Amino acid sequence: MNLRTVSLRRRVAVSVLLVLFLVLVALVIAVDRTFAGQSSRDVEGVLRDLETRAITSVVRGAQPREVVRQLSKKNGIRVTVELPNGTQFGDSPEDGQYQRKSRTINGNRFTFYADTEAISQAQVRLRKLLVLLGLGAIAVTGLLMIVVVRRALAPLDAMTSLAQAIAAGHRGGRLNPSRTDTELGRTAAAFDGMLDSLEGSEQRTRRFVADAAHELRTPITGVQAVAEALVQAPVDSPDRDQMSFLLVREARRAGRLVDDLLALAQLDAGYEMQREPVDLLGLAEAEVARTRYVAPDFDIAAEGVSVTVHGDGQRLAQVLANLVDNARQATGPSGTVRIRVDMTGFTVSDNGPGVPETERERIFDRLVRLDDARDRRSGGSGLGLAIARGVVRAHGGELTCEPSETGAVFRVTLPVAL
């Protein structure tokens, strides 16, 4: 998207002045035509009045010459009459602007003339006056626009100043619009929301980096301590095997954490999942077999219908394994875990202590443990559920912790292949 960054002040001012100019031009044309039309109607009325008076005089017996003399007394009025024998009384105008009307009365042809030069001059003066007033209005409006536009765009200047301050490192400023039901109010509210989101994201990133460094420091410190002890121990020391075992365990723990951090980074970067048909029921049965191999006496089973989705089978197996391992750790050796597959995805439920309602969303945050000590002993990093949700969302689905009277229920919804 390429945003045109022309001057908003200039654009608004030019647009307003252009609209004003067009309105004034239309107004001048409308007034001029209205004045001309009204003047023409007024002259027509005068000529009709002369005609009526001439008819009245002739009916009363007045001679045509006398009618011409009486009606031609007014300034700007001329009347002529032509008798049937060709005799003409009255002087017809030779120059000037006149509007005329003819009428035959008792065989005599009367012609009435009304001078329109004064009207034409008035119309010219009116046009000049309207043009001058229009230009003056445009000039005054242009001067006022400088002040009005500057005040109207003051909120944008405030946004610019705040953005520059944030770029300089001052992150606490906000616009705090007084109203959010206006254009600038909605823009300012969206700007503040964006800043809150960025600030929150930055804080979460910093906290995540700090927590990740803390998590890595523990196994790395263990590796360092065991490695130093192993180097210093005599070759025939009976503790060398135990120290070697501890060294491998801590190294694996650090490796798992690094793998989890890398998986999160890939998901955040928009990691492209491989797409292939995946049978969810077959995936669940494979997870049951894996768990029984690790814990032969653990009560776990898969049930439901065969459903196929398009996705990354390895990643979805990782999601299922994570949910099952969490359930197995929560319930203990005597627990029960059930995987149920339906047409919209699958659920993993257990008969353990469950998840408190206030924690059902927080557990998907990164490096969050509800039982910190237990998860540390089991090697958990607190990233498993965050990775699982990221994988499911990358497939266009969702992972949630559902309400349950007994135990915990995790629901995975996925778009089913048609």
**What's the pLDDT tens digit per position in 161-175?**
777 777 676 666 777
CA atoms of 382 and 374, how far apart (whole Å)? 11
Tell me if 28 sits within 8 A of 130, measured CB to CB: yes
Residues 303 and 347 in one domain: yes
Tell me if 344 sits within 8 A of 414, measured CB to CB: yes
Burial (CB count within 10 angstroms: exposed 0-12, middle 13-18, buried 19+), residue 39: middle
- Categorize the per-residue pLDDT at 57 as very low, low, confident or very high, splitting at 50, 70 and 90: confident
Q: Which tokens in the block code for residue 243?
A: 């120290």
Residues 100 and 44 in one domain: yes
% of residues, the chain, pLDDT over 90: 16
pLDDT score, position 59: 84
Q: Which tokens in the block code for residue 195?
A: 């800043």
Tell me if 101 sits within 8 A of 129, measured CB to CB: no
Q: Which tokens in the block code for residue 268?
A: 């955040």
Beta-ladder partners of 113: 78, 100
Which of 246, 268, 290 is a domain's end point? 268
Q: How much is the pTM?
A: 0.51
* Stretch (H or E) spanning 381: none
Residues 293 and 350 in one domain: yes
Which of 268, 301, 320 is a domain's end point? 268
Instruction: Provide the CATH number for the domain around residue 225.
Output: 1.10.287.130
pLDDT score, position 2: 60
Question: For strand 336-342 and strand 299-304, is the pairing parallel, antiparallel, or unpaired?
Answer: parallel
pLDDT score, position 173: 73
Task: Please tell me which of 55-69, 235-249, 292-306 the model is most confident about, judged by mean pLDDT.
Answer: 292-306
pLDDT score, position 281: 94
Residues 322 and 400 in one domain: yes
Task: Give the pLDDT confidence of 309-331 residue by residue, as tens digits.
Answer: 998 998 899 899 999 999 998 89
- Angle, alpha carbons 384-333-398 (nearest 5°): 30
Residues 18 and 148 in one domain: yes
CA atoms of 64 and 105, how far apart (whole Å)? 10
Domain that holds residue 61: 8-152
Instruction: Provide the CATH number for the domain around residue 104.
Output: 3.30.450
DSSP-derived 3-state class of residue 111: strand
* CA-based torsion, 222, 223, 227, 228: positive or negative: negative
Residue of 113 and 96 predicted with greater confidence: 113
Which of 129, 152, 175 is a domain's end point? 152
pLDDT score, position 284: 94
Beta-ladder partners of 402: 409
pLDDT score, position 151: 79
Residues 67 and 137 in one domain: yes
Number of domains in the chain: 3
Residues 61 and 94 in one domain: yes
